[in-house]
Chains A and B, each alone.
Chain A
Amino acid sequence: MGRAVGLRHAALFLAVVLVLVRPLGLYLARVFAGERTWLDPVLGPLERGIYRLTRIDSAEEMAWTTYAGSFVAFGLVGTLLLYALLRLQPWLPWFDPAHLTTPMTPDLAANTAISFATTSTWQAYGGESTMGYTAQLLGLVGQNFLAGAAGLAVGIAFVRGLAANGTGTVGNFWVDLVRAILWVLLPLSLIGALVLVWQGVPMNFDRYASVTTVEGASQTLAQGPVAALEWIKNLGTNGGGFFNANGAHPYENPTPLTNLLELVAIVAVPAGLTVTFGRMTRRPRDGWTLLAAMLVIFLVGLAGIAAAEHRGNPRWPTGIAGGNMEGKEVRFGIDGSALAAAVTSNAATGSTNATPDSFTPLGGLVPLLNMLLGEIVFGGLGTGLSSIVMVALLGIFIVGLMVGRTPQYLGKSLGPGEVRLIVLYSLIGPATILVLTAVAVLVPAGTAGLTTNRGPHGLTEILYAYTSAFANNGQAFAGLSANSPFYNVTTMVAMILGRFGLAVPALALAGMYSRVRARVDEGAIPTHGVLFACIIVSAAVLLVALTFLPVLALGPVLEQVGGPR
């Protein structure tokens, strides 16, 4: 019975997303082509005002180097400003030292600044015990918009480069950035935030409310401008919560309806980008094929999490019905929590509505695998699209080797230069994650973080942390005590590599392709249809399996079969 409800729950979510995909994708294509939209009368003057004020030449067409340089410079400025803001917190308005007790040390501030400027929003702190309302809004909400929009810009430039016919340019970073904020993120967030308030998400600047409970105990209720953060943290695939419990907190996610809407906000735009891709490359079927490959991986993972969590924990005493409810909320239930785990792990968004650390070993393995796949299923806003195309290119290269045909995508062939970039792109992740995990389990500063769980589960906690940081996801097996100089610095390294170490090679590839004219090759492997979707999925799975099987065997798999505690 529970399963039928779970299926209907997932089906409703998918239906909403699939209805939105095409209109959203086509709208995005218009926005980034500079074509007319119905918002132009309001936003057009504002856009031109911004360019005048900041002396930006909106007509400039950038080569990939300039585009990537602007992206990196923008990320750097955002990081430094946020760092300063966090360090100056105690002197800013709405900072109540009575409740905000976590010291904002230089390492925590640097980690948090990098984290929000790279859309990772990894949080080594608890929101309600660390962040004043000024830092939440000007710092975290601000970066949720800015970093989210920058990622979207990179994704668009990537496709532009692939589709360009010998122009050698990939667009204008500043224009893409401004249009992403004005035409996409701001209007959707204004509506979304108010819907959330209607459902119960607070939006105030009140002091924390001190009340005497019904039984006469005292309770302090953290307050704040939660709704302003809540929608954009999901829409921008950031995910860092206003409160420590993030999407599980009743003030962030008060009802099953807000849970559905927040998950749709995470997925709709990244999924819609496959349609944008199809429109920009004039190969709509290739776009749909990317989406189909995403959906296959998504659904298999979702089914895995739901099945494992419904089965429950065999170590518990008998006579308990209802599956593994440890670290889950009643209003979402197991199906609502499994859906959120599948969505947030695939889409580079940390806003889980349960504690993944308390999932069953297999239920926690799936989100880990989703992140290890490289955030290719929906993925980070904009970056998810470039990531799955990179996997598709890898698949074409492998298949090309096997059948002896010239590997080709969108009418452009893969030469040694392109393949070098694709291999670099594929190897940065495994190298970063495995090396950092190995270091952490070898040094005392690393194992000192295992304050809650030990054994194979402890290894999984550490692996999950670096995987999440590199994936710019931000969710955690939160039993790991990560607010130490060691973890703050090492996760920072992973986040920087996961953001810039991937975006720059992706843009470089786009730059190479922007100089090439597409030509039809009769012998090329078709890049749409069921067969190609299978090639994409196989390439993704093969890469992860070959690289991570040993460490996964020592972590979640060993825990499942009953290794040392």
Chain B
Amino acid sequence: MNAGDSSRDTTVKLIALVGRASALTVVLLVLCGVVYPAVVFVVARVVFPVQSHGSLVRDGRGRVVGSSLIGQAFRQPRYFHGRRSAVAYDAANSGGSNLGPSNPALTDSVRVASVRVRAEDGVPVTVSLPADLVTASASGLDPDISPASAALQVDRVARARGVAASAVASVVATHTTARDLGVLGEPRVNVLRLNLALDSAWGGR
């Protein structure tokens, strides 16, 4: 066998190899990229219709106002406020601030938020603020705040709605979720669900 034959042999082998790889890739892509998602889609639609469509929620009048999993901006005093969002709660463009720990812009943003929260909710400097209320979330869409962050907003919300603080506090309590399985993650309050509950209890007041 001369050198030409052996290089032709190698070429033929390579073509056969790539051909086999291509055929198998196409077959496996149909299985994993078409059949598998189709099965998941059909079962999910039938068994979990609400979740599979993004857990959308409606207000008292039946209007879709968001998703119970996705945070949205609240600025009015009669509503509980969520966390800071680096993407202004744009749920088609999620993300965090990505500011590094030594970045002066991060320190400034935390300082400004602390001053704002202390002023809005009348928190004296002797009382610590919960970190989640003065920092931006990772997704920019965090639907939750900590129970401590909810507690310090109760008086303001009650005043704005002209109702008793204890009544607002009890709505907060019923909308506080414990750690999953008692161990996982942190206790939390879903801000959108809480605010919808306030509206349904006291209307537009």
Contact = CB atoms under 8 A, between A and B. Distances in A.
Interface in B89-105: 89-104
Contacts of B93: 126, 128-129, 244
A315 B98 contact: no
B205 interface: no
Contacts of B104: 565
Nearest to B111: A317
Interface string B65-99: 11101111111100100010000011111111111
B188 A331 contact: yes
B14 to A, nearest CB: 8
Interface residues of B, number: 102
B55 A186 contact: no
9 contacts: A77-B21, A178-B28, A245-B95, A245-B140, A320-B130, A331-B186, A355-B97, A358-B98, A452-B100
A358 B106 contact: yes
Contact of A199 (B51, B89, B97, B196): B51
A88 B23 CA distance: 21
A419 B185 CA distance: 46
A313 B29 CA distance: 46
Given A74-B25, A211-B66, A327 B137 contact: yes
Given A214-B79, A254-B69, A128 B92 contact: yes
Interface in A211-262: 211-215, 217, 219-223, 225, 227-228, 232, 243-245, 248-251, 254-257, 259-260
Contact of A220 (B31, B90, B114, B146): B90
B138 A354 contact: yes
B119 interface: no
- List the 9 shortest-distance A-B pairs measured between CB atoms, nearest first: A256-B185, A333-B186, A142-B33, A248-B138, A322-B131, A479-B98, A256-B184, A245-B94, A457-B100
Contacts of B179: 5, 256
Interface string B49-74: 00111111001000111110111111
Given A53-B27, A69-B17, A322-B131, A208 B195 contact: no
Interface string A342-384: 0000000000011101111100100000000000000000000
Given A77-B22, A213-B73, A316-B107, A194 B92 contact: no
A181 interface: yes
A466 B136 CA distance: 27
A9 B184 contact: yes
Interface string A61-77: 00000000110011011
Interface of B: 17-18, 20-25, 27-29, 31-34, 36-37, 39-41, 43-45, 47-48, 51-56, 59, 63-67, 69-76, 79, 83, 89-104, 106-107, 110-111, 114, 125-132, 134-146, 148, 179-181, 183-186, 188, 192, 195-196, 199
Contacts of A77: 18, 21-22, 25
Given A178-B24, A331-B186, A217 B73 contact: yes
Given A186-B31, A194-B47, A222 B101 contact: no
A331 B20 contact: no
**In the complex, which range does the number of interface residues on chain A fall in?**
35 or more
A447 interface: no
A511 B95 CA distance: 45
Nearest to A224: B54
A73 B15 CA distance: 10
Contact of A330 (B56, B75, B102, B145): B145
A200 B67 CA distance: 10
Contacts of B132: 322, 325, 330
Given A214-B72, A324-B131, A327-B138, 5 more contacts: A138-B33, A193-B40, A197-B47, A220-B92, A228-B36
Contact of A319 (B55, B64, B128): B128
A183 interface: no
A423 B185 CA distance: 42
Given A74-B24, A190-B40, A221 B70 contact: yes
B205 to A, nearest CB: 14
A102 B188 CA distance: 35
A453 interface: yes
A161 B54 CA distance: 48
A249 B94 contact: yes
A455 B92 CA distance: 31
Contact of A331 (B55, B70, B144): B144
A211 B40 contact: no
Nearest to B184: A256
Given A78-B25, A206-B54, A227-B40, A565 B103 contact: yes
Centre residue among A76, A126, A142 by max chain B CB count within 10 A: A142
